[in-house]
Amino acid sequence: MNRPTYGWNVLLFVLTFFTLTFQDDIFRIPYLNSATISEIFRIRTPYSFSLLGILFCHEMGHYFAARYYGIKATLPYFLPVPFSPVGTMGAVIRIKEPIRNKIQLFDIGIWGPAMSLVLSIPCLVIGLYNSQLVSLAERAATLQAHPGLVDIHFGDSILTYILSQKILGPFDSSLFTVEYNPLAFAGWVGLLITALNLLPFGQLDGGHIVYSLAGEGYRKWIYYLFSAFLLLSIWNYSWILWGLLIYYFIRVEHPFVPDASYPIGKFRKIFGWGMLLSFLLIFPISPITVVSSSGAKNSLGEDLWNILLEVFSK
């Protein structure tokens, strides 16, 4: 019997730790002195370790559910992204055997986002108590003084907006933005990754959940839901890329999985629809906006909204 090897798992874990810690500074490491590298480690490792823990527990939620049913699965493969302000695309495991019925599919699908949701919210809450508000006018003035710089704004979901207003506010979000401390930022990214996984399409966790709950009948309306999702690109153009990834690679429809020999049960239905409803609270319509010295370019949705405001204010 071949013994499993974990070389790729370990290598990708280490690389993801470095991309989380250094982010877009990673290619400057050879030119940085030891004091600067030490300072980056001191400031950013709370973010790296916290987010790695969230991602690890997310994937192990899937892994242990699969192993509970005797289905072979790999340990997590982390996905490093050095060009991103986040530093990662998350992590994945590979299910190496067919899932036999929708109850198994439901349990394997739901325990990943459930774990990351439960861990991300405390990180965000605790971190917000050590975060601060910064003036958007001051940030704009800094960009004007240094035209080569760019600023990155991290958008709110309903939940992050309520929590930041409760803990740091109340404040006018058109005048101030939250500068997340590393732990809060790990919570924000954890919620974003959880929300993306809960999109109800194809092989995403949300796709597993909604297909398990709704059955084959969901094929009658899933493309209408996908079309509604594409409308989000009016507010943030990155959703066009996500739409292409889902359509061509993740797929809109879920592959066929047989029904179980007994009903999915009331508890799973409540749990499943509750997780899908949590998506509405943690999903940011415009997660990341890059701002230059000329300001942030309005999305089509913002331009249409401003036009409507002008028309109805007359």
Model pTM above 0.85: yes
CA–CA gap between residue 238 and residue 184 (Å, rounded): 23
What is the distance in angstroms between the CA of the first residue and the CA of the last residue of the chain? 77
Residue 170 is assigned to a structural domain of this protein: yes
Which pair of structure tokens corresponds to residue 267?
């508890």
Handedness of CA 80, 205, 104, 68 (dihedral sign): positive
Q: Evaluate if residue 142 carries a pLDDT over 90.
A: no
Q: How many domains does the chain have?
A: 1
Q: Is residue 11 part of a domain?
A: yes
User: Within a domain: residue 123?
Assistant: yes
Q: What are phi and psi of 286, to 5 degrees?
A: -130, 85
Q: What is the pLDDT of residue 313?
A: 59
Alpha-helical runs (H) found in 27-174: 34-68, 102-128, 136-145, 158-168
> Is the per-residue pLDDT at 294 higher than 90?
no
Structural tokens at position 113: 């986002």
Q: What is the mean pLDDT of residues 2-29?
A: 87
In the structure encoding, which two tokens stand for residue 53, read together? 């823990």
Is 309's pLDDT higher than 60? no
Average pLDDT (197-216) is: 96
pLDDT band at 311 (very low <50, low <70, confident <90, very high): low
Distance CA 97, CA 75 (A): 14
What is the distance between the alpha carbons of residues 245 and 123, in angstroms, rounded to a whole number? 29
Q: Is the pLDDT of residue 2 over 80?
A: no
Instruction: Select the more confidently predicted residue: 308 or 277.
Output: 277
- pLDDT of residue 79 exceeding 60, the answer is yes
> What integer pLDDT is reported at residue 149 of this predicted model?
76
Residue 59 lies in a domain: yes
pLDDT at site 190: 97
Check residue 296 and give its pLDDT: 62
The arithmetic mean of pLDDT across residues 263-289, rounded, is: 95
In a domain, 237, yes or no: yes
| Residue 285: per-residue pLDDT | 92
- Whether 287 is in a domain gets the answer yes
Mean pLDDT of the chain: 90
Q: What is the pLDDT of residues 162-175, one digit of tens each?
A: 999 999 989 998 88
- What are the pLDDT digits (tens) for 207-244? 999 999 999 999 999 999 999 999 998 888 889 999 99
Task: Please enumerate in sequence order all residues whose Cβ is within 8 A of that of 213, keeping only pairs 6 or more positions apart, or say none.
Answer: 106, 264, 268, 269, 272, 273
Element (H, E) at 205: helix 205-214
What span, in angstroms and rounded, lies between the C-alpha atoms of 213 and 254?
A: 12
Average of per-residue pLDDT across 236-261:
93
Domain range enclosing 46? 6-313
Identity of the residue numbered 110: I
Residue 191 falls inside a structural domain? yes
Contact 123, 85 (CB under 8 A): no
Over residues 82-117, the pLDDT tens digits come to 878 899 999 999 999 999 999 999 999 999 999 999
Query: Of 143, 110, 281, nearest to 212 (Cα)?
Result: 110
Q: Is residue 277 in a domain?
A: yes
- What's the rounded mean pLDDT across residues 73-81? 95
For 89, phi then psi, to 5°, come to -105, 15
